Structure 1
Amino acid sequence: MATVTVDTARCVAGGQCTRLAPDVFDQDEEDGTSVLLRPDVPTARLAAVQTAVALCPGAAIRLRTGP
């Protein structure tokens, strides 16, 4: 199981996460910061979330895998 968190204080509203995994992330309509739609990452979306973590300009996304 993989879980993801977003530190909205570090988010710079770049939107890469939303474009890569729109079923996991959204953007706040007011300030553009990332909104987490689901903390439990579906196996089929793991690669997209890993890419979102790697590309996040504010290093605001954390992914935890394992039990």
Structure 2
Amino acid sequence: MPYVNIRVTKEGVTAEQKKALIAGTTELLERVLGKPSLSTFVVIDEVETDNWGWQGTTMTEIRKEQAKQAK
């Protein structure tokens, strides 16, 4: 019984995008590993950008800097 946990930053991921992630992940496990879709579970966690860090900085700060640079 495959269990896949996808974590993304909480930045407007739509219901349609989540549906595509779940369907695509399920299809991939079926195609590559032969796992039936009935036994596959996919969970998507959305993490606040203050709780996601990279290179010692929160994604909130990284996004702010990216927005400044885009202007």
TM-score by structure 1 length?
Answer: 0.26
The structure with the largest alpha-carbon Rg is: 2
Which structure shows the bigger proportion of residues in helix conformation?
A: 2
TM-score w.r.t. length of structure 2 = 0.25
